[in-house]
């Protein structure tokens, strides 16, 4: 008697990739003031946007930003929006990181961009309003036994003169929101380098889960 052959198919469920686990699926920070959460024992990829003025000292990046081109072909009707435009910025490198022991930061990729806030169609012409920014992707690692040190370092120490001037015009209430976080937030001072010299920025890292 012939025994029928039955093929059994084993279906394996695909494990979802957690955001931040890979360079092509990073955590997107909303701005450069908000702390990014990396828990002890983790290594995460995080993209942080910086206003152009927070890194640039004196309009030395005009040529790079002027070379950014918008794609107007996406606009067909009045409600369409011209997409944001970015270019690679390999000329910006991370020279040094001043962070507590147990925290390492590496620059994975640097971009500059023009972020569209308004698209206006007038007949056959399209006009845009936009802001300019850096978009920097880091790999941030925190040691499993890391404990955040107590520090009173001012965030403004690492800002460009233009950014410091902008900070000085903020209300006391907003300054408090920007500069005050819990003891779990560690500040890493980043020093960048390019052909014109060095620039600095602050990266805020929270080492406990935030609500």
The domain limits of the chain are: 27-206
User: Among 173, 191, 183, 163, which Cα is nearest to 58's?
Assistant: 163
- pLDDT single digits (tens) 152-205: 445 555 555 555 555 455 554 444 444 445 567 899 999 999 999 999 999 999
Question: What is the predicted pLDDT for the residue at 141?
Answer: 98
What is the C-alpha separation between 30 and 50, in angstroms, rounded?
10
CA 91/CA 64 separation, integer angstroms: 10
CATH domain 27-206 topology: Immunoglobulin-like (2.60.40)
pLDDT digits (tens, 9 = 90+) for 34-67: 999 999 999 999 999 999 999 999 999 999 999 9
Query: Do residues 178 and 170 make contact, with C-beta atoms less than 8 angstroms apart?
Result: yes
């Amino acid at each position: 008697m012939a025994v029928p052959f039955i093929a059994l198919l084993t279906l394996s469920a695909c494990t979802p990739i957690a955001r931040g686990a890979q360079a092509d699926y990073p955590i997107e920070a909303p701005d450069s003031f908000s702390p990014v959460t990396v828990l002890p024992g983790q290594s995460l990829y995080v993209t942080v946007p910086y206003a152009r003025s927070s890194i640039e000292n004196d309009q030395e990046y005009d040529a790079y930003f002027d070379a950014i081109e918008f794609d107007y072909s996406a606009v067909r009707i009045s409600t369409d929006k011209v997409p944001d435009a970015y270019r690679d910025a390999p000329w910006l490198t991370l020279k040094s990181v001043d962070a507590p022991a147990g925290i390492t930061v590496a620059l994975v990729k640097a971009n500059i961009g023009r972020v569209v806030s308004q698209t206006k169609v007038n007949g056959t012409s399209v006009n845009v309003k936009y802001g300019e920014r850096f978009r920097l992707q880091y790999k941030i690692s925190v040691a499993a036994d890391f404990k955040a040190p107590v520090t009173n370092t001012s965030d403004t120490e690492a800002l460009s003169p233009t950014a410091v001037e902008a900070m000085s015009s903020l209300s006391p209430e907003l300054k408090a929101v920007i500069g005050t976080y819990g003891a779990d937030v560690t500040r890493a001072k980043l020093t960048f380098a390019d052909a014109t010299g060095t620039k600095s920025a602050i990266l805020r890292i929270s080492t406990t889960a935030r609500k």
